[in-house]
């Protein structure tokens, strides 16, 4: 389905194609979709147990993004507990915290995406 959609979209050379999981966090970890990298985006309102509830998704991720950090003061969310859970699921995984609404951390997210694209476009020796 992804290959068919990519062919129908016919993205220009150098385009970034994102595949969003629609459903739970189990399936994307179990299947190779032909992606260059996997990123898990979790959000503060989902609670800090998400990495332990879906360890396969976090273990398969090249990057873990914690979004909606601007909401942390308004909900019961323990950032250190969430980070420890993410590191338990995938020790050493890169983690970015961001607020898409306020723009916090978006520069790092964009840089990560550009680095993945550059790795694909780099000539091989």
Query: Is there a contact between 54 and 26 (Cβ–Cβ < 8 Å)?
Result: yes
Output the pLDDT for position 90: 94
Name the DSSP class of 26: S
What pLDDT, in 10s, does the model give residues 14-55?
788 888 776 666 565 667 777 888 899 999 998 888 899 989
DSSP line for 105-122: THHHHHHHHHHHHHHHHS
Burial label, 57 (beta-carbon count in 10 A; 0-12, 13-18, 19+):
buried
Q: Could you tell me the pTM of the whole model?
A: 0.84
What pLDDT, in 10s, does the model give residues 65-121?
999 999 999 998 999 999 999 999 999 999 999 998 999 999 999 999 999 888 877
Spell out the domains of the chain, with CATH numbers in brackets. 2-118 (3.40.50.300)
């Amino acid at each position: 389905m992804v290959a068919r959609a990519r062919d129908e979209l016919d993205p220009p050379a150098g385009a970034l194609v994102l595949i969003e999981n629609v459903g739970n966090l189990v399936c994307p970890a179990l299947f190779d979709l032909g992606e260059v990298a996997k990123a898990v985006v979790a959000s503060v309102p989902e609670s800090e147990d998400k990495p332990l509830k879906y360890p396969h998704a976090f273990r398969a991720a090249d990057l873990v993004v914690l979004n909606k950090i601007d909401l942390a003061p308004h909900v019961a969310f323990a950032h250190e507990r969430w980070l420890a859970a993410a590191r338990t699921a995938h020790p050493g995984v890169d983690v970015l915290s961001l607020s898409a609404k306020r723009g916090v951390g978006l520069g790092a997210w964009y840089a990560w995406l550009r680095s993945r694209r550059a790795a694909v476009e780099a000539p091989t020796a």
